[in-house]
Chain A
């Protein structure tokens, strides 16, 4: 359980985050989305006690970060994979963490194996690629066997195989009852894995809820090889629609009604999806441009 209660933080006169409130529940992955400079990293740094909030507070399992006796055993944190000593070997980074957290040393090798760095453990971190640093950071976060994870853009630099692997790992972690706060500006990544979404822009939470709550009712994506027939079918069924391209539409109706309209019009469909592939992107840009307009 991770909670933000009205957290506000300014740098000089600039408000980086403004009255941020949301909760990450055990057993769920919360996707934390926002454009560059929205305040995602700042929020996470406040949560982890690295920055002091001007007002409000953030807690992990009901306690402030500094109140956790041995924080690494409760919450695994990866804020910036590049923030490691270039002259230290990968295994040594984990060994230091293991000594600090008091976990058995054997876990270092298990984690190196898990993240696929067993072969590179004796290399210095300065010679790691970004993706390898990211994997090391993920191992470092998991080392204390925590029940919460706070990860700032962990998919950054990972290859497609790595991204899929991370997705599986987070799913497994959450399914075992873990709490995950995951930031990204890769909408597809968040879309594929998050149960809950928190969208911030300009330092404010602009939308929050379960993925289904936020994405349902945003229209059904429809594809058909017959644009003229499809347009006619929408019109005769009285369904509002807008074209994305010549073979794709967003219909303001549910899948069943669209399917019936297509059958009545004798039109073939190649795709029908109530949470279309673009639903999150649409929502994101709607909210973010609203925020920009309001600012």
Chain B
């Protein structure tokens, strides 16, 4: 018995498939065990803390309540965490680790699902960090405004969706493009591109239905109107559902080399 062959190689053996929860844990670990991943997550956590404290101590008194402080604390998560989502998928291609990943787990859709679940789990994790930091910051530094602790279920739902939709958009763009740089550029440039196009007045009424920033500010400002909710859904179809479908199709049929 040695390290090369622990037991006789001739016996037929049966093995069980790696469980889905295990695949998700592995993807979470892969998101932090590289230098780039580690610093991205560390920077997001650090900026979350800074943003919560900064909003709670500076500016007008009205801003020192839980809603505006949490809004500020979630900006790093909304901006940086989707990049982690993008890299979870694209680094398999740019670093060519897909070669060993898919040899270990041949069902590519399970791997992709595990990556999405890991990204969403990261979203909830950082949401929790932001909530804890915001509560602490408001309790420590917040001024005694009337709505200091006002935060209804609508807002809670919107804030959660804000974080998760951003992550899903990152994952979807990563899957559709399978290359880090174009996916990251698209994630950051898409809202700007829509703003530029919207300066053609004729396009404006259409563009607000596909504007990715409708999944951002309106969700954390106040309780949304039903039109705003509808715009979130149509934008999500364009920037999440569509690229994800393209990604599923590409990843499913790609030759990996």
A binding-site residues for B, Cβ under 8 Å: 26, 41, 45, 48-52, 61, 65-66, 68-74, 77, 79-80, 82-89, 92, 96-97, 99-102, 107, 110-111, 113-114, 124, 140, 142, 145-147, 169, 172-173, 176-178
Contact = CB atoms under 8 A, between A and B. Distances in A.
Contacts of B35: 87, 124
B104 A69 contact: no
B201 interface: no
Interface residues of B, number: 43
B163 to A, nearest CB: 26
Contact of A178 (B9, B36, B106): B9
B249 to A, nearest CB: 14
Contacts of B153: none
A45 B9 contact: no
B202 interface: no
B96 interface: yes
Interface stretch (B11-19, B59-67, B236-244): B11-19
Given A72-B104, A88-B33, A100 B10 contact: no
B8 interface: yes
B8 A177 contact: yes
B18 A83 contact: no
Given A100-B105, A102-B18, A169-B4, 10 more contacts: A50-B99, A65-B106, A66-B106, A69-B14, A73-B15, A92-B33, A100-B22, A100-B23, A114-B3, A177-B9
B227 interface: no
A96 B26 contact: yes
Nearest to B101: A100
B135 to A, nearest CB: 35
Contacts of A86: 95
B18 A71 contact: no
A203 B228 CA distance: 58
Nearest to A72: B104
Contacts of A68: 106
B107 interface: yes
B99 A100 contact: no
A242 to B, nearest CB: 43
B103 A176 contact: no
A182 B237 CA distance: 48
Contacts of B257: 41, 45, 50-51, 80
B97 interface: yes
A140 B102 contact: no
B77 to A, nearest CB: 22
